[in-house]
Each structure stands twice: as structure tokens, then as C-alpha cells.
């Protein structure tokens, strides 16, 4: 199938999937940054992607269904049963209610120097103030909030104390840390449920130059499902990014031959692999998964609780952003909110208003 | 005509207007924040809106043409001859290349407390640092940049000196201030040309409750062209915002009866006016016009020059933002760029990198 035929196929299938209101989702989620604004939107959080597929099954051709399922799984990297249909509608609204918008917002653009180059600039800006102290590689054991200060203890016994603590601990890691006083029951329940994204992302350098703008789907039998050509590496090879998820999960470092095979299966005969690069986010103790994607029920029951502060602890993570939840934009939303909260509380009000 | 018929009429006409590339402008301006990325886009900056209308004239019905002209004039508030077609294409790209996107980005949303409530929050945030000194109502006479400092002199003779100066003086005001050394010739020429937006914005409170979501066009004979119902005032009246521009200009305070008549003409028989509110931005010495809109030729010749610093003076205005030029978003773009420039230059690098 050509690129354009695939595009049309997926666009058509997506429209059938999201059209719950005769307006391609625009009536049910009119404000992407206030996704529960319309009360009726909540019902879609008790549906999974699978439930919605069952509703529209008769209207989909087999090819449309395969393209649609693989795209939904590319977003959630869970299973169709564990993917909240509401959260998919929310992504769709964020992307302007069009397939083109999804491509523009989710796929087409990247930082020249990679996502890390962006993160490093935030870090350097903070460092340049001369007021930043930091430690890395220090897993947190406990957080104790007593009176007007919070104390954090690392697993190796170091302690740090402050007037406020901004916790950026991701949802899937939250229940590995001991809080005193305990986290409120709703937040704790959400942390125990966790989000469902167990993305397997494998980067391959291959020699075939024709593959640099290619997109491929291999679904449902392969361990990797979706792959895109992503330009040329400094060595002149083609960079391919392959995605898999929990629906057919693997740990790429456990059996590299299996990983290699899964990459080759994305385009049999066209994958002369020079190098494979991956990081297993599922096993990463600081992440326990990839970007947030919610199972049915999680957001409608717990989003407000996850966003609430608890005493001197303010929780900031893209995992509970209201707009670009799961994206770095959501991390900026929530980081800004937390910083503003703490700044307003701790900044002494100027004694006199200066006027020249 | 019903609201929906008008929508369709304008959407169809707009598509004809912007479709210079068979892709509704997407090929000619693929990146709204880098609008000259495709070299061929420059040619459209030597065309006016009128030139483009002439090209597509045979494809437009009279109603389509009237709706299209009034919408273009609502954007530029100049005349069709003084409106850069390129800049209109740039707005279209910013709005996602759709009529719906234009409505979403340009018309539908506003701050509950008005734009001022937003601006005041920036001011209060700056004030809360305890490091802000400020004066208002002090027209600037001259800016002198010598060696490592810049001195600003007000018309009443006060002087302020600093290591850097961030000039937010709008394009249309720039040539009323004396710079030493002189502004570079390209910037000066652009300032002398100026932008073309002489919007006349008149707010009316009327008693008719049915008008709160109404949209009306009265073109080309009325002094006001486009009006929208904008909700209900605290007094229970309907708030109507009417727009006019340079194509049929008036100064609303000069003849209030004429202004009143122009408002009434927007919906004869339905405008029981309780109150009129307006500010004449054309005569405002700190603005000399409304939001930036460029005449043909200005951007392709001068945008780079307008964005360039000059010695210790950094120029920051939405008037030369590369993305949301003319909008408050563009002011934030440029304010951030200027602040970052100055901060990086003046902030002493931390002598030691703190690590706990």
C-alpha cells in the first residue's frame, strides 16, 4: 500500500472511531484543556478502546481496523482493553480533531538534538541562577511532612529538608515511596492502578537509504507494531524508530536476537541493521513505564485527587496535566503551576512598591 | 442569511483565497512560525489582498466576495490595497489552515476579565519580585546608547540609565523617538512606512437579549463593518463589539452621533443602545494604530532588521514576532527572547556549580 493510501485508510478509520457526537468529538470535548467540561464526556472513560471498536465494528473494513488498532496502540502502548477511550478522545481534541492534526502534533516534528537537548537547556538555565543544588541517581525512600518542613530520605540514608517539596515522581513510581502522613486514599489507589503505557521503543540504524521517510505497520503478530523512518544518522545510515507495547510485550535487552528479528519483521528484506539502541522504560526504576496513558476509569475517578497538593508537598507531573498530559508540554504546564504555587507562598511580599 | 449559511459562504470563499498551492497554503507556508521557510512564499508579500482578489475574482459569487473582503479587512483593518496577502496567508497558517481554526484562534475565546486582567497578572508577578521599578505616562524623547550604558530621556526631562534597554516601542511609534546612534536605515524605513492597522473598535451595550451570539456584516458602505455579540454584561445587557478600519475610517469620539449611527446600521431596528465604549488607538500616542498588520513588501524587506538588536538596545514587540505576530502570544514570544538575551549577558556565571 502506498503512503497516501495508508493515510486515507487511517484517517477514515479514525473518524469513525471518534465520531461519538456527529461532530468528530468536538461537541463531547469542546475544550481539550478542560476535557470533562461536558458532563457526558465522562461516560467514555468507562469505555475501553476495545469497547468502542466493538460498537463500530461493522463499519470498518479489515484493513481500516488493523490500521486503527495499531495507531491506538501506538498512542497508549497498552492493550485495547486497558486503553481508556476517553483519553484517546482527549488526544484527538488536543490535535484539533483531525488526522492531519495528529500527524502534526504527535509525529512530524522533533528537536534537532533530540528531546534531551531540550531538557538540558532547562537544567542549564536553572544552574545559571547560581541557586540550584542537585543530586542524581539517588532513589528516594521516604518523604516526611511535619509542621512547616518536609524531609526527604534517600535509600542510602541521606536527608534533605525544605519548606516545600515539589514531587515529580511519576504515577507508576509513587507507591514505591513511603509518605508520612500517608498519601490520601484516592491518590494511593490511582498509584496502585498505575497507567498502562509499557512502550517498547527500539531505534535501528540501517543501510537502506530509501527507508528514511518510510512508515510501516506489522500487526498484530510482531513484537513491534509501528515503525517510522526518522532521517539520516551522522554515519549516513537511515534511522528507524520502532514501537511496541504491552499487547505483545518484550524486554528488548533480554533477547537481542528476538529484538533484532522484530525489527527485521517490520520490513522483511529491507532491514540491514547496523546498530540497535533502546532503553527499557518498563524496568527503569525511575519510570516503570513510558508516557502516561490511562486505563478506563482512572481519570474520571482520580484526576482531581492526583492534582491536589498534600500539606507542604506539591505534585507536578505530566501524568496529571489537564492539557498535554503525557507530553513534555504537560510537564511544563504542571511544573509552572507548582513553581508558581511555591513561589507565591514563600516569596516575601515586597515591603514597599518601588516607583521611580 | 443564517449563521451556518454565512459560515459556509465565508469558509468556501476563504479556501479559494488562500489556495495558492493546491494544498490550501500548507505547501507555501508549511511552518507558521517560519513563514518564509519556502522561498516562493516571498512573492505573496509583494501582492496585496486586492491583487489576490483580482486573480480569483471570476470564481467568487458576489456574496462570497463581500464576506471574504469584510473578513480580510477585519484582520488587517487597513484597506484591501494596503493588506499584504502574505501576512494573511501567515495568519491562515497559524490558524491551522482551516476556517474552523480561524474561528477557534481569532474569535471564539476571550479572558473572563478581559485582556487587561491578563496583563495585570504579568505586572503583579514582576512587582512581587520586589525588584521592579516603574513609571507610567512618561512619553520617551530620546534613547542614547554610549559605551556600556543606555540612557533614556523622557519628554519632561527625566533620565534613566541601564546596562541594557529593552525597547517595546511599537513600530508605528518608533520614528517619534530620537535614537543615538541612529536606528539602522532598514529599521528606520520600516518605521516610516509603519503598519496599516487603524482598527476602530466600538463596544455597545444593547437591550436585545437575542443578539448575544449574533454576527453581522455591513459592507462596504457603513463606517463599521463586522460585529459580534459577545455575551451579557453585568447589567444584563447584550455586549456587541463592532469593528471598522482604514478602508472607511472614522474617529469615534469626534462625532458620537455618527458612531452611534454606524453601530445601529449593523442591525437596523435591533440596536437599542444603552452605552458605547471605545478607545481611539489611532490617536493614542503610545500606539498610533491597533494590532500590527503589514502592507505589501514590509515583512519581506524588513522583518530581519526589525528583530535585530542595536548595541545595548534589544527590540521586543509583537510587531516583529515570527510566530503570533500581532497577538499577545507574539508579545510573549518576543518578551521572552529579549529577557533571555539580557539575562544571559548580564547574569554573572556561577563561580562554582553546586552539588550537594
Measured CA to CA, the distance from residue B276 to residue A111 in angstroms comes to 50
* CATH 3.50.50.60 domain range(s) in chain B: 114-195+289-345
**Nearest-CA distance from B185 to chain A in Å?**
34
Which of the four pLDDT bands, split at 50, 70 and 90, describes residue B352?
very low
The ipTM, to two decimals, is: 0.86
The DSSP 8-state label assigned to residue B84 in this structure reads B
Average pLDDT over residues A283-304: 97
What distance, in Å, lies between the first and last C-alpha atoms of chain B?
Answer: 70
Put simply, the chain A residues between 138 and 177 with a CB less than 8 A from any chain B CB are 160
Q: Rounded to whole angstroms, how far apart are CA atoms B46 and B31?
A: 20
Distance from CA of B224 to the nearest CA of A (A): 31
Position B123 scores a pLDDT of: 95
Looking at CATH, the fold of the domain delimited by A121-195+293-344 is given as FAD/NAD(P)-binding domain (3.50.50)
Q: What is the DSSP letter of A84?
A: B
Tell me whether residues A129 and B347 touch, CB distance under 8 A.
yes
- Among the partner residues B129, B133, B354, nearest to A355 by beta-carbon distance: B133
Q: Does B137 touch chain A (CB under 8 A)?
A: no
B336 near B350, Cβ under 8 Å?
no
Domain B3-107 matching CATH 3.90.660.10: the answer reads yes
In sequence order, what are the residues at sequence separation of 6 or more whose Cβ sits closer than 8 angstroms to the Cβ of residue A156? A138
Asked if residues A286 and A173 have their Cβ atoms less than 8 Å apart, the reply is yes
Q: Looking at the complex, does the CB of residue A347 fall below 8 Å from at least one CB of chain B?
A: yes
Cβ within 8 Å, pair A349-B128: yes
Measured CA to CA, the distance from residue B26 to residue B31 in angstroms comes to 8
pLDDT of B355 reads 55
Burial class of residue A144 in the structure, from the number of CB atoms within 10 Å of its CB (0-12 exposed, 13-18 middle, 19+ buried): middle
Q: Minimal Cα distance from A344: which residue of B?
A: B128
Q: Which chain A residues are Cβ-neighbours of B347 within 8 angstroms?
A: 128-129
Report the half-sphere exposure of A173 (CA within 13 A, side-chain side): 22
Q: Which three cell numbers stand for residue A68?
A: 486503527
Lowest mean pLDDT among A152-166, A321-335, B108-122, B319-333: B108-122
Flag whether pLDDT at B350 surpasses 80. no
User: What does the pLDDT read at residue B3?
Assistant: 67
Q: How far, in Å, are A43, A333, A341, B335 from residue B145 at the CA level?
A: 63, 39, 39, 20
* Residue extent(s) of CATH 3.50.50.60 domains in chain A: 121-195+293-344
- In CATH, the architecture of B200-278 is 2-Layer Sandwich (3.30)
Q: Is B159 exposed, middle or buried (0-12, 13-18, 19+ CB in 10 A)?
A: exposed
Confidence of residue B1 (pLDDT cuts 50, 70, 90): low
pLDDT tens-place string over residues A240-260: 999 999 999 999 999 999 999
Is residue B353 pLDDT above 70, yes or no? no
What average pLDDT does this structure show over B288-292? 97
Q: pLDDT by residue (tens digit) across B123-149?
A: 999 998 899 999 999 999 999 999 999
* DSSP codes of every residue in B322-335: SSSTTSHHHHHHHH
A22-66: per-residue pLDDT in tens? 999 999 999 999 999 999 999 999 999 999 999 999 999 999 999
Chain B residues lying within 8 Å of A132, measured CB to CB: 354
Kindly state the average pLDDT of the residues A206-215.
Answer: 91
**Matching residue, cell 535487552:** A253
Average pLDDT value for chain B: 94
Of B24, B29, B96, B138, which to mutate for an interface test with A (greatest number of A Cβ within 10 Å)? B96
Q: Each residue of A59-89: pLDDT tens digit?
A: 999 999 999 999 999 999 999 999 999 999 9
Which of A195, A200, A196 is CA-nearest to residue A320? Answer: A195
Give mean pLDDT, residues A262-288: 95
Query: What local confidence, expressed as pLDDT, does residue A166 receive?
Result: 98
pLDDT digits (tens, 9 = 90+) for B165-181: 999 999 999 999 999 99
CATH code 3.90.660.10 region(s) in chain A: 3-107
- CATH class held by domain B114-195+289-345: alpha beta
Distance CA A313, CA A149 (A): 10
Task: List CB contacts (< 8 A) between B134 and chain A.
Answer: 354-356
Tell me which chain A residues have a C-beta less than 8 angstroms from the C-beta of B160: 356
Closest residue to A135, CB basis, from B130, B349, B356: B356
Share of chain A above pLDDT 70, in %: 97
Q: Give pLDDT tens digits for B298-321.
A: 999 999 999 999 999 999 999 999
The strand pair at A215-217 and B178-180 is best described as unpaired
In tens, the pLDDT along A87-96 reads: 999 999 999 9
Domain with CATH 3.30.70 in chain A: 200-278
pLDDT reported for residue A352: 45
The DSSP symbol for B246 reads G
Classify strands B273-278 and B200-206 as parallel, antiparallel or unpaired.
Answer: antiparallel
Amino acid at each position: 500500500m502506498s503512503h497516501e493510501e495508508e493515510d486515507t485508510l487511517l484517517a477514515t478509520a479514525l473518524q469513525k472511531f471518534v465520531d461519538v457526537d456527529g461532530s468528530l468529538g468536538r461537541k463531547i470535548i469542546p475544550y481539550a484543556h478542560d476535557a470533562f467540561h461536558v458532563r457526558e464526556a465522562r461516560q467514555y472513560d468507562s469505555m475501553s478502546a476495545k469497547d468502542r471498536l466493538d460498537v463500530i465494528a461493522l463499519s470498518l473494513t479489515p484493513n481500516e481496523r488493523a490500521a486503527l488498532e495499531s495507531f491506538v496502540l501506538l498512542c497508549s502502548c497498552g492493550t485495547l482493553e486497558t486503553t481508556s477511550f476517553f483519553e484517546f478522545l482527549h488526544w484527538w481534541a488536543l490535535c484539533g480533531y483531525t488526522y492531519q492534526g495528529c500527524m502534526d502534533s504527535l509525529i512530524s516534528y522533533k528537536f534537532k538534538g533530540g528531546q534531551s537537548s531540550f531538557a538540558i537547556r532547562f537544567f542549564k538555565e536553572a544552574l545559571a541562577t547560581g541557586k540550584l543544588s542537585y543530586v542524581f541517581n539517588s532513589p528516594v525512600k521516604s518523604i516526611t511532612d511535619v509542621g512547616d518542613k518536609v524531609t526527604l530520605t534517600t535509600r542510602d540514608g541521606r536527608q534533605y529538608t525544605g519548606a516545600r517539596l515539589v514531587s515529580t515522581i511519576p504515577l507508576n513510581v509513587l507507591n514505591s515511596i513511603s509518605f508520612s502522613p500517608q498519601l490520601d486514599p484516592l491518590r494511593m489507589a490511582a498509584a496502585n492502578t498505575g497507567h498502562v503505557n509499557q512502550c517498547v521503543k527500539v531505534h535501528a540504524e540501517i543501510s537502506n537509504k530509501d527507508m528514511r521517510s518510510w512508515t510501516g505497520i506489522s500487526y498484530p503478530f510482531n513484537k513491534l507494531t509501528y515503525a517510522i523512518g526518522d532521517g539520516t544518522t551522522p554515519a549516513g545510515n537511515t534511522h528507524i524508530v520502532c514501537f511496541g507495547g504491552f499487547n505483545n510485550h518484550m524486554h528488548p535487552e533480554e533477547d537481542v536476537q528476538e529484538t533484532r528479528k522484530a525489527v527485521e519483521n517490520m520490513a522483511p528484506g529491507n532491514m540491514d541493521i547496523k546498530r540497535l539502541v533502546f532503553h527499557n522504560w518498563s524496568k527503569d526504576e525511575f519510570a516503570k513505564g513510558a508516557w502516561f496513558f490511562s486505563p478506563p476509569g482512572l481519570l474520571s475517578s482520580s484526576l482531581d485527587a492526583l492534582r491536589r497538593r498534600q500539606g507542604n508537598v506539591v505534585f507536578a507531573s505530566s501524568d496529571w496535566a489537564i492539557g498535554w498530559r503525557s507530553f513534555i508540554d504537560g510537564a511544563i504546564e504542571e511544573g509552572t503551576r507548582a513553581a508558581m504555587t511555591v513561589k507565591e507562598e514563600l516569596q516575601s511580599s515586597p515591603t514597599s512598591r518601588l516607583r521611580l
